[in-house]
Structures are given as structure tokens and as C-alpha cells.
Amino acid sequence: MTDDFGGLGQQLKDTYRKVAKDRGPSDDEIKQAFSTLAGAWSQVAESVSTVLTDPDIRQQLKEAASSLATALGATITELGSELKKATSPAAPQGDEEE
């Protein structure tokens, strides 16, 4: 997997360089863009870190995760019931209950 991603990264880098050479931004523009992205990433990481230390937000996150798990469980149960109905032999017509 590491080799695959390393190879993919190298191909992307080579392709980018070919395209950038013809019509892309200058090296300085690229460096500035990466600097901006690094700064933004740092701010996002700091915000996430701060949020995760807030007990109220952590509780909300736990509740949201629990709700999601409950909803997924109910959906899977319902899907299982539907699949079971679809694969079971049909009841004789005179014996059906409504």
C-alpha cells in the first residue's frame, strides 16, 4: 500500500510539473499557496483541539454518535427484515392474515 501511494504521489508530482511548466503558476505562487494552506490547517487543528477539550461539546459529540449508531442499527435491522421477507417463500393465498 505504501508503494502504491508513493508511486501515485510521484505520478501526480511529475504530471503537475509538466502542466505547470507550460501554463501553471510560478514557484513563488505555489510556495505562497502552500504557506496559506499550512496556516489554515494549523488554525483548523487548533480549533479542533480546543473543541475536543470542551466538556459540553464532547457530550454533544457523544450524543450525536449514539444517535447515529442507533439509527444505523435500526436501518440494518429493517433491511434484514425486508431481505428476509423477500427471500422467504410466499404464503398460500387463502392463508394470509391482514
Sign of CA dihedral 23, 25, 27, 31: negative
10, 18 Cβ separation under 8 angstroms: no
DSSP secondary structure letters along 41-53: HHHHHHHHHHHHH
Q: What's the pLDDT tens digit per position in 3-33? A: 777 788 888 888 877 776 777 677 788 788 8
Q: Is the pLDDT of residue 88 over 80?
A: no
pTM here?
0.40
